Chains A and B, each alone.
Chain A
Amino acid sequence: MAHKKKGSQTVVFEKKPYIIGRGNIGGKKESEGPLAACFDQLLDDDMFGEKSWEKAECKMLQTAMERAIHRAKLKKENIDIMLSGDLINQIMTSSFAARDLHIPFLGLYGACSTMTESLVIGSMLIDGGFAQNIMASASSHFCTAERQFRMPVEHGNQRPTSAQWTATAAGAVVLSEKPFSIPEGMRVVRATDATIGKVIDAGIKDANQMGAAMAPSAVDTLLNHLQDTGRAIDYYDLVLTGDLGFIGKDIMTDLLIDAGLNAEKVYAHYDDCGTMLFSKDQDVHGGGSGCGCSAAVFTGKIMQQMEQGKISRILLMSTGALLSTISSFQGESIPGIAHAIALEVE
């Protein structure tokens, strides 16, 4: 009997795992954005002293992880399992980071929903008693994503108004069964429950309309989460989607109000990481996207605000577009997914 399952898609964590460490890193464009102050480290050059974009992304992910381990006052030997994913074929960044770090590794692919996916699975592993300390992380890099999914970086073209900008960023957290190593005066963040999303395909085929492709899955996960837990949207100080961007956020808001949620509450309690990471005048068109977008915003601004007690309850919903380079060429539409994890300050 699955006694930790609630409703149709939600799980409740009895142990309520603690987030005892966090780390993030951002690229050049992120350093020019409104959240620059919320990064542990920012790069002047997105190559990060490496020979290829892929190596640079790998180094960024490792740096974020090491920062998280350091903040948790642990050694990498204390991490039982590392959960990580990215956008490059065969999740190269995460696997190669795991090769260098020598931590037992489970690779994940949830496209841009990976940060929440790793947090959800990590919390489950701790709650099930399979691990004490878990590393949950995700990364993306504008140039690695651009050359894999679109065009060579130096190719000259005009981006459509709905195109989003893949964040060059990585974020990592250490989840733990016990709250040791939390500094005095700092609030502790715990994971309470999570809703696992279904893959929803609204039939969008345009790879430059990611926000619109993912919004229906985010709406579905949120409505199911609220129904399973019996909560209203204003139970949370902030409901945060991963990378719907400016267009997807508007669609999500409209669909939520259409589904019967109170409009004022939706406007007051809902936001999107893709609209926070960059400002509109940074020429990012539809806003930020990529695994690193929600990973960096959550491990930066959001965690800071929670630790300082400015906000106490959030629902993090990283959103992913599960297309591949093959599926778009074969004329398939873009399936979307969104997972949700509820986090609260103790």
Chain B
Amino acid sequence: MTSAITRREAMFGAAATAGSLLLAGGNAGAQTKPTELRVGITTFLSGAASVFGVPARNAAELIFEDINKAGGIGGVPVRAYFVDEGPGTDHLVGEFRRLVQNEGVHIMFASISSGSCLACTPLSDEMKKTTLLWDCGTQRIFEEGKHPFAFRTQGYGTPEVLAPLLYLLKHKPDFKTLAVINQDYAWGRDSWELWKAGMEALKPGVRVVAEMFPRFGAPDYSTEVTRLLAARPDVILSTSWGGDLVTLVRQAAERRLFDRSTFVLPVAEASMQTLGKTMPAGHVIGARGDHWNNHPKPKDPAKLAKFVEAYRAKYNEYPIYPCHHMAQAIAAMQAGFARAIAAKGGGWPNDQELANAFRGLTFDTPTSSITLREDGQGLEDQIVGLSSFTEKFPFAVPKDMIIFPAAMVSAPVGQKSVEWLKTLKPEFLAQVPAPVAG
């Protein structure tokens, strides 16, 4: 019904077709080694979540540069295609198709936003394209269905909420009242549901004095702070992140809310640099994983230091957790390709062979190693600690850290997180490892 397809578009189309036909030739039959390994990466380049998306893209560019200098993956140089999650789902799923069908990417990295992940993962099934879920946290992905081509190379909501809860129960076992102030969107609601289920099982009888869900991106929390000052909860939970968390902490600190209540901030790490010394000491902070700059016993300290220094040298800031999650996805990709190529005796894997290589894969990160379970979920340890200041960093880092082994805080394969959390018993606390000074 349209004649918007001008000559230029037609040429664009023709060129694109020629490209895709060439690719089709390369992908079919005897899987010859491609001239480049194409990686499609969806990340936020615009909007509020670009505070995560842009550093993650920076990290990817940095690491790919390194990989290519060292000869690429399996001798093939890597090329990344970045796609913005900002415009919404219908645009993103179109972009996913473009990357797979037109650019001929060999592997996809999907999404910061849980909504994006929920939309892209079924596409990976349909298009039979290995997709690494590199940052999104929703537990719904692998708990509501099987996705043979999707793998999450990091932790997810359940361990990221349960670990701070266990830490709180160890650190301040006698708290009686709690308030929650989360962003009003899926993660804010989901994380509260997980927390509540865990808390009611592990420490029944805590009184919830306020449940607040200010709108996403709210610029002012004065009413909420006033209410919290009046309610005097022992503990205040907030899984907010990015600019929202920075605003909340600043306004709460200004009015001395941190002196009255203990805060639990599971996604604090990414905002610590912005907050600097404004972040009060002695509150529970998490990082959606174990990648703190002051990790007490990283598996490969030299590698961690090298990554952090290289990132700082290039971008003039410390890497935050999305950078590490990106690095994890890339490490998984390297290990997965290596395994698939080895399994084929040096040949280049097709889509199915590549996916097979990821099932049960273990790969190293600078701080630890991560195993992808049979359902595709990665097991990433969690470190939670108390905010503190040291000579070394101009921002808060945790002390008295507890390293939670991933298997301990993740719902077992085939179980739904909320149901599983409800079955926990207070004795579970005895399994929590002792804190390590950091």
B is bound to A: no
* A interface list, Cβ under 8 A from B: none
